[in-house]
Amino acid sequence: MNLRQAHQGMIDAFPGGWDAMAAALGMTRDALSNRVYERKGQAVRTQHSLEMQAFTSTTLFAEAIAVASGGVFVKLITPGSVDREDLHSKFQELWARLGELSRAYTAYTDDNHIDAREKADLQRISNEIQRTMQELMALMFQIYCSHDQEPVSGA
């Protein structure tokens, strides 16, 4: 997901769509459209992106920034809000995503070539696996680690 897709997704998720989001941000629909589509040298300001994210209770802007930075966004877990069933479900989700990657790899390499669309799809699946793995680890630590432990840096 890129920034434009994140902005469009947040606008689509907002009740009333473009007109309502523009009003909430204190601008006209045309002004918002010019910023989202980067017309006339305009762009959506970070503050407006954060406001749109807050208005829609999504993490789309954060996810787009993470992807643009070569990473994935993982929302922090509220202490005490998870249990072992959540951890089990996350393991199942990871297995399902790995299966999706395996199926896509098999299909996309059948002709001994991965085209641009196939590469983008494999990258999307990989990003989802990375996000799922980080969420799984966060759940595991939340459930099984003492909460007074200092984080350990990895090399």
Residue 24 or residue 83, greater confidence? 24
Q: Which residues contact 128 (CB under 8 A, 6 or more apart)?
A: 97
Mean predicted lDDT score pLDDT of the chain: 89
Distance CA 88, CA 80 (A): 16
Total-model pTM = 0.62
Residue 79 has pLDDT above 90, yes or no: no
pLDDT, residue 5, reads 94
Residue 78 has pLDDT above 80, yes or no: no
10 within 8 A of 60, measured Cβ to Cβ: yes
